[in-house]
Amino acid sequence: MKKTEKIISLKKICKSFPLEVGGSQQVLFDITFDIMAGEFVAIMGPSGSGKSTCMNIIGALDTPSSGVYELYGRDITNMTDDELALVRNEHIGFVFQNFNLLPKRSVLDNVMLPLMYRGMSPDERIKRSREMLRRVGLDNFETYLPTQLSGGMKQRVAIARALAGEPKLILADEPTGALDSTMGNEILKFFKQLNKEMGITIVMITHEFDIARYANRLIHIYDGRINYDGPIPASESVLDRKTKATKK
């Protein structure tokens, strides 16, 4: 994929959720941005800002109430749940805060899991998964259970699983949230390596500026609206000023 090619295009995305007492609450307002192939983008915002809802839409885990979402140039805004599941499996690798590993299955089995849904032969699944474990430095741990691994190693298994389908896009939702600072920094450096050496587009959700700084571009969301989209600023005070301006 060419660096100038759009992977993600959101146009005036809005999202509302129904309330139990009636009516609805809008959490995203006219979200518009493009992400090009090979970018490493952090989507940052405080709790309740709408960043996780935005990620769910990008990851085809949810659909917008209005607006248009194009992934790889294809409009997926109004796809059915089954169609969205296919999009996720074929095009997106996910890395979650709590790893989402099956505790009673081996490391190798966990990495192979998404490949089973593609109809890939057992031999090819094993070959591909072992290669991904080698890439994340865990080729000697394929028979281990997740419970036998450190937090950083679990997240590397999750990254290997995300890479196994050879996606051009990885969505990482608070990927260091369950790790200490040392392990977290290792994972973030690994993301930078994947982005630089393999050209994988990475979209990372975080509420911490120090984590967002590992990316090359920052989209800051506050109260469901984008109030900054650009290079990583020199300090978080730039975002604070933008937030104060939004409140006025």
pLDDT (tens digit per residue) in 219-239: 999 999 999 999 999 888 888
Query: How is domain 6-247 classified at the CATH fold level?
Result: Rossmann fold (3.40.50)
Report yes or no on whether pTM surpasses 0.85.
Answer: yes
Compute the average pLDDT of residues 166-172: 92
| 238/128 Cα distance (integer angstroms) | 44
What is the CA 83 to chain-centroid distance, rounded?
A: 19
Distances (CA, A) of 246 to 6, 15, 84, 207, 208: 29, 19, 34, 18, 19
Q: Which residues pair with 41 in a beta bridge?
A: 203, 217
What is the reported pLDDT for 245?
73
Q: Yes or no: say if 239 and 230 are a contact pair by the CB < 8 Å rule.
A: no
| Domain range summary for the chain, segments of one domain joined by + | 6-247
| 95-153 per-position pLDDT tens digit | 988 899 999 999 999 999 888 877 789 999 999 999 999 989 999 999 999 999 999 99
What is the reported pLDDT for 1?
47
| 180/201 Cα distance (integer angstroms) | 25
Identity of the residue numbered 84 = L
The pair of three-digit structure tokens given for residue 199, joined into one six-digit string: 């050209």
Report which of residues 23 and 106 the model is more confident about: 106
Identity of the residue numbered 232 = I
